Homo-oligomer: A and B are copies of this chain.
């Protein structure tokens, strides 16, 4: 075996494991940001979602995304990732049906694993947004469809040799392909699901529903930060020292600027440095730099991260104004900053950074790249929003989308799983009584009897 194949494999495998580890980050972040009565359910969703993603991406997703086909979908080697392939051969020597990813000189299953963990990330982003009210089975079915069919299609456009990649759309580590896809799926979900009971009253009041454990949430944030060092630098899919070092530092600088500006914005705007905002500031910075990390300078990454951290605070407030209830802020983080980051490639890209050949608007490249980036943002957004909305609606008509009100009030842990997360700890069910009061006060009649 050639040394370069071994080097690339070690790097990609370990980076992929770091991305896999983000499952724990999402599980703890999301459960910490929700109430204890729904903890088992959230953890279960975050746990099984990678099982479902693995199955869906193996059964069909890989083939749709990377199989040779047309500009819109892969058509060869569709099922069971079982098409012809002589990886790690590359270039002219490659003989197989997954040409779009044949530039990576690593064994087939290493490619598969690395792409699988990205697919799983998109699915797990959704879980937080729809938390505390969605049926467990429905979420499982949605995740299967998302990872087997929907995610791979736009993935094909961007990374599978499809029409967007032909146009020169740049998305290095998945700001659109992963984060915005997850974010659009989350948005359509929370629009169709509706807010958690008691979150918004008829009189227009927004009730804060604090999560049950800042410790869990912070554990999640730090694990995600750690995992992102696989997500972005690993997307080289090759052990390229200069690229890895650059992307690593750029990623970190954007993340830390997100923390600093989100914390400062919350401090100035809300009076105190709210920890949840600091956390989502980090994630906003990391998401924003994801599509751009191989194309922009360290200085630009500082700007991008700083903007991301401010954006996420205002986006969170805006979503609440629109009565779009996202318990963990997944939409503000992954959708808003996935879009912003994708556009920022068209603004901040610089020729010569890690072999990049494009200049963004701010570096003399004019509007061309920005236009392509915007086209990608809009078309992927439209496709994902439409297809996921359709999926949610079909699931609503068939298995049902939302748990009964009684179950939502009592908590999904008991209703969906028959478990309690912390059976020995005495708790005040935060908001339980007051929510009931809100319902009564606003509606005249308690909804419980509905």
Contacts and interface: CB of A to CB of B under 8 A. Distances in A.
B40 A223 contact: no
A245 to B, nearest CB: 4
A239 interface: yes
A216 B210 CA distance: 20
Contacts of A274: 417-419
B109 A212 contact: no
A48 B282 CA distance: 10
Given A212-B424, A215-B31, A419-B274, A113 B249 contact: yes
A95 interface: no
A388 to B, nearest CB: 23
Contacts of A270: 418
Contacts of A229: 17, 20
Interface residues of A, number: 104
Interface string A184-198: 000000000000000
Nearest to A414: B272
A108 B245 contact: yes
A253 interface: yes
A226 B106 CA distance: 21
Contacts of A241: 1, 5-6, 9, 88, 106-107, 110
Interface in A86-139: 88, 106-110, 112-113, 116, 136
Nearest to A299: B80
Interface string A252-296: 110111011001000000111111101100100000000000000
A212 B422 contact: yes
A216 B32 CA distance: 12
A273 B136 contact: yes
A435 to B, nearest CB: 13
A23 B423 contact: no
B51 A256 contact: yes
Contact of A1 (B35, B240, B279): B240
Given A240-B1, A428-B424, A273 B417 contact: yes
Contact of A275 (B40, B213, B255, B425): B40
Nearest to A251: B113
A113 B229 CA distance: 11
A28 interface: yes
A351 interface: no
Most chain B Cβ neighbours within 10 Å, of A39, A110, A241: A241
Contacts of A165: none
A407 interface: no
B424 A427 contact: yes
A51 B259 contact: yes
B27 A218 contact: yes
A294 to B, nearest CB: 13
A181 interface: no
B9 A244 contact: yes
A79 interface: no
A278 B416 CA distance: 13
- Listed from nearest, the 7 A-B pairs whose CB atoms lie closest are A109-B245, A51-B256, A9-B241, A272-B418, A110-B245, A24-B222, A107-B245
Interface of A: 1, 3, 5-7, 9-11, 13-14, 17-18, 20-21, 23-24, 27-28, 31, 35-36, 39-40, 43-44, 46-48, 50-52, 54-55, 58, 80, 88, 106-110, 112-113, 116, 136, 210, 212-216, 218-219, 221-223, 225-226, 229, 233, 239-242, 244-246, 248-249, 252-253, 255-257, 259-260, 263, 270-276, 278-279, 282, 298-299, 416-430
